[in-house]
Amino acid sequence: HGGYFADDPKKSHDYTVSNATDQTRVMFYNKVLLGNESIQNVADQTLISAPKGFHSVRGTAFPYTEYIIYRYGQALPYLKITYKA
């Protein structure tokens, strides 16, 4: 229901898929405008937007912190990173 970002690349790596031809993976380094963050300590799959008065959600219920935006204009892909794991 939104764009998910993490400050630890290990979290993002979990969502990559290895290319069958050359075993490379791709992830993007993004600039994200979080604005006023709503900090959520419990996963809430029902959110379809940031709570009223907030621009984004920071999820802290898992080992890695996640940042969720609901307006795609809040994120700018900055670097494409191709790597082998």
**pLDDT tens column, 32-47:** 999 999 999 999 989 9
pLDDT one-digit tens code per residue, 47-82: 999 999 999 999 998 899 999 999 989 999 999 999
**The model scores a pTM over 0.75:** yes
What confidence score (pLDDT) does residue 62 get? Answer: 87
Domain boundaries, the chain: 3-84
What confidence score (pLDDT) does residue 1 get? Answer: 80
- Cα separation, 15 vs 21, in Å, equals 18
> Would you say 24 and 83 are in contact if contact means Cβ atoms under 8 Å apart?
yes
Residue 25 burial by Cβ neighbours in a 10 Å radius (0-12, 13-18, 19+): middle
Q: Which helix (H) or strand (E) holds 11?
A: helix 9-13
For domain 3-84, give the fold: Phosphoenolpyruvate Carboxykinase; domain 3 (3.90.228)
